[in-house]
Structure 1
């Protein structure tokens, strides 16, 4: 048990660091902090147009009942 408690955190740290290095390798980031490869582009997604609500529309959801909510004993 003590051996697992001592070695497991070190092993997990080594795995996390190795995965980070692998990600840097796959993304093409060099040691000098160079830019990633140019194939990856991020772009902004335009906002959806605002939905106009009718003035006579009931603001309550369609599943809401007109009766007040009742509390049940637990």
Structure 2
């Protein structure tokens, strides 16, 4: 019978203490989690940037035009 020993790479936080409360993560699991967190942050930033563009568009309209649009929207309610 032949056995192969597979070495696992673990990620341990820099404040790791062997007190039973900290858990080692396999390297690929830690990278996957970090990638998901970064993707979520990028998506959040993209939404913020898009909302800033819409605010910029609204602010770039002349005041009278904005007032007329607001009045028209108010009248249709």
Q: Please classify the TM superposition score into its range, dividing by the shorter chain length.
A: 0.3 to 0.5
Higher Cα radius of gyration: 1
**Higher helix proportion, which one?**
2
- Return the TM-score normalized by structure 2: 0.40
- Return the TM-score normalized by structure 1: 0.41
For CA contacts below 8 A with separation 6 or more, give which structure has more relative contact order. 2
**Higher strand proportion, which one?**
2
